[in-house]
């Protein structure tokens, strides 16, 4: 399943999803094999793209986006 974060990258969507799962930047970095500073950059970009100020807003947005997806045929 590929979901775009308002036209952003798959990596940004992965970071947003993991933020919604409650992971810290360090935990996300370990999960995705990237640097924590890179995660921080992605989170900052996501916040700006969506006009949010808090990680909890990203989490709420992800949950809302996931509920709007069509059912998986698999």
Give the domains, in start order, of the chain with CATH numbers: 10-67 (1.10.10.10)
Residue range 47-51: mean pLDDT, rounded? 92
Lookup: tokens for 7: 């036209």
The pLDDT of residue 4 is 52
- What residues have CB less than 8 Å from 73, skipping those under 6 apart? none
Q: Pick from 68, 46, 66: which is nearest to 57 by CA? A: 46
Q: With bands split at pLDDT 50, 70 and 90, how would you rate the model's confidence at 71?
A: low
Could you tell me the pTM of the whole model?
A: 0.80
Beta carbons of 65 and 37 less than 8 angstroms apart: no
The pLDDT of residue 6 is 61
- Report the distance separating Cα 6 and Cα 2, nearest Å: 12
């Amino acid at each position: 399943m590929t979901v775009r974060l308002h036209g952003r990258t798959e990596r940004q969507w992965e970071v947003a999803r993991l933020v919604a799962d409650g992971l810290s930047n360090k935990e996300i970095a370990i999960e995705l094999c990237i640097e924590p500073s890179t995660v921080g950059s992605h989170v900052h970009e996501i916040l700006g793209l969506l006009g949010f100020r808090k990680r909890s807003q990203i989490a709420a947005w992800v949950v809302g986006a996931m509920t709007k997806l069509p059912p998986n045929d698999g």
